[in-house]
Amino acid sequence: MRWRVIIPGIVLIALVGVLGYGLTRDPHTLPSVLVGHPAPPFDLPTLDNPQHTIGVDAMKGRVALVNVWASWCVACRSEVSVIAELSQRTGVPVLGLDYKDDRDEAHRWLRRFGDPYARIAFDAKGQTGIDWGISGVPETFVLDRHGIIRDKVVGPVTDETMNDRLIPLIEKLRAEGG
Amino acid sequence: MRWTIVAATLLLVVLASGVSSAAPDDALTPAQSARYHELAAQFRCVVCQNRSIAASDAPLAADLREIVARQIREGRTDRQIKAYLVARYGDWVLYDPPFKFGTLLLWLGPFILLLIGLGLIVSLTRRRARSDRDSAADETSLDRDRLAALLAEPDDTPRDTHNSRARR
């Protein structure tokens, strides 16, 4: 008789636990399969000059960030100042990947919201974005000095993500390779 | 009312023409095109999640369709195209994920739950049947006791009205 109360109670608590845990997870965040793999190479025109091209290998040899952004991306506006602070505090260069954008709009946007990028690659058709497995903008990749993707932030980098996740990782990567 | 219907029809026409004019399989042979449609229906759109890239209007799904069509044009096999997308978006992107260790729970979970449920039903009905039988046995013995008590009573107890009326 007592079990009739206890067992449904346990089942209920377990169910609430599982569902509650589910609520804390964002279903739009896909598992990052590229983490631990080499960054997909590309050869794209730069935003500043369509005649010049840039690849991800420009960042090789040092810990670097790749930040996917676009002038039409609203979340990028708040993120760009965090990216700038992160780059300033750690000295890590940021390669911008301007995703499916318009050159003039992009330049206007950088003047208005700030430009934390060392270089910017211009991915007009978004094919490089897919090659990098992005599901939206912004996304930020942390590359080690061998060009391996070590972490990926989907959505805007917040102060919290920067302080608790990215800065410790960058310091660890710096300490790793001599 | 009529206006909304007209507007909706116009919207549909515009949307349909927009979709058909941008079909990425235009440059494919009929056989390639068939492969393209079959493949596109097997990949899950990564932003809308519950539609295939063939069914989704999301820009990213359109780009993925473009990539599938381009890779078919370049002569890559279905297996290679799947491997390309899985390497970037994980098994998640497949509507028919492979059966392997990482997807064990995904594949077997429903059956395990079904077995647990069946086991629960069987054990509960068994227990109930047993307790029903027990209580039924209790009741018959109770009736027998009452009957014996009634029979043992002396005959001069007053009859109730129903019985006396029936006798009259």
Parse chain B into domains and list their residue ranges: 18-98, 104-153
pLDDT band, residue A2 (cuts 50/70/90): confident
Distance from CA of A178 to the nearest CA of B (A): 30
Q: Which CATH number covers residue A147?
A: 3.40.30.10
d(CA B123, CA A22): 31
On whether the CB atoms of residues B59 and B73 are closer than 8 A, the answer is no
pLDDT score recorded for residue A99? 95
* Mean predicted lDDT score pLDDT of chain B: 79
Report CB contact under 8 Å: B89, A132. Answer: no
Residue B40 C-alpha from the chain's centroid: 23
What's the domain count of chain A? 1
pLDDT score recorded for residue B22? 56
Is A71 domain-assigned?
yes
Distance from CA of B13 to the nearest CA of A (A): 26
Report CB contact under 8 Å: B90, A30. Answer: yes
Distance from CA of A10 to the nearest CA of B (A): 15
Tell me which chain A residue has its CA closest to the CA of residue B124. Answer: A4
d(CA B152, CA B19): 94
Q: Which residues contact A172 (CB under 8 A, 6 or more apart)?
A: none
**SS3 state of residue A98:** strand
User: At A53, which helix (H) or strand (E)?
Assistant: strand A53-54
For the stretch A126-160, pLDDT in tens is 989 999 999 889 999 999 999 999 999 989 999 99
Choose the closest CB to A126 out of B46, B63, B90.
B63
d(CA A176, CA B48): 39
d(CA B45, CA B62): 9
Kindly give the interhelix angle for B59-73 and B78-89, rounded to the nearest 10 degrees: 140
Report CB contact under 8 Å: B60, A136. Answer: yes
At residue A83, does pLDDT exceed 80?
Answer: yes
- Residue window 6-35, chain A: list those with CB within 8 Å of chain B: 27-28, 30-31, 33-34
What are the φ/ψ torsions at residue A70 (nearest 5 degrees)? Answer: -160, 155
d(CA B82, CA B67): 11
β A149-154/A119-123 pair status: unpaired
Is A59 domain-assigned?
yes
Strand partners, A97: A68, A121
pLDDT score recorded for residue B1? 56
Is A84 domain-assigned?
yes
Tell me which chain A residue has its CA closest to the CA of residue B66. Answer: A127
For residue B92, the chain A residues in CB contact (below 8 A) are 30-31
Where is average pLDDT lowest: A140-144, B96-100, B109-113? B96-100
> Which residue range(s) make up the domain with A39?
33-176
- % of chain A exceeding 90 in pLDDT: 77
Where is average pLDDT lowest: A27-31, A69-73, A121-125, B76-80? A27-31
At residue B158, does pLDDT exceed 70?
Answer: no
d(CA B51, CA B35): 19
**SS3 state of residue A25:** coil
At residue B140, does pLDDT exceed 90?
Answer: no
Report CB contact under 8 Å: A30, B46. Answer: yes
Tell me which chain B residue has its CA closest to the CA of residue A35. Answer: B88
Choose the closest CB to B89 out of A28, A126, A133.
A133
Choose the closest CB to A130 out of B67, B86, B90.
B67
Omega within 30 of 0 (cis) for the link into A156: no
Q: What is the pTM of this model?
A: 0.70
Q: Which tokens go with A19?
A: 């569902």
pLDDT score recorded for residue B18? 47
On whether the CB atoms of residues B84 and B77 are closer than 8 A, the answer is no
Choose the closest CB to B92 out of A31, A34, A125.
A31
Provide the total of helices (H) and of strands (E) in chain B, helices listed first. Answer: 6, 0
At residue B27, does pLDDT exceed 80?
Answer: no
Is A9 domain-assigned?
no
Dihedral sign, Cα of residue A168, residue A173, residue A174, residue A176: positive
Exposed, middle or buried: residue B59 (CB in 10 Å: 0-12, 13-18, 19+)?
Answer: exposed
Average pLDDT over residues B106-133: 90
pLDDT: is B12 or B112 the higher one?
B112
Where is average pLDDT lowest: A22-26, A105-109, A160-164, B66-70? A22-26
Query: Which among A49, A61, A48, A163 has a CA at the least distance from the CA of A115?
Result: A48
The Cα-based distances of A119 to A47, A82, A159 in angstroms read: 8, 17, 23
At residue B167, does pLDDT exceed 90?
Answer: no
At residue B10, does pLDDT exceed 60?
Answer: no
Report CB contact under 8 Å: B49, A27. Answer: yes
CATH fit for domain B18-98, picks 1.10.101.10, 3.30.300.20, 1.10.3470.10, 1.10.8.640? 1.10.8.640
At residue B164, does pLDDT exceed 60?
Answer: no
pLDDT band, residue B149 (cuts 50/70/90): confident
For residue B89, the chain A residues in CB contact (below 8 A) are 30, 33, 133, 135
The Cα-based distances of A1 to A4, A13, A61, B7 in angstroms read: 5, 19, 69, 64
pLDDT band, residue B21 (cuts 50/70/90): very low
Selection from A34-48, A164-178, B47-61 with the highest mean pLDDT: A34-48
For residue B127, the chain A residues in CB contact (below 8 A) are none
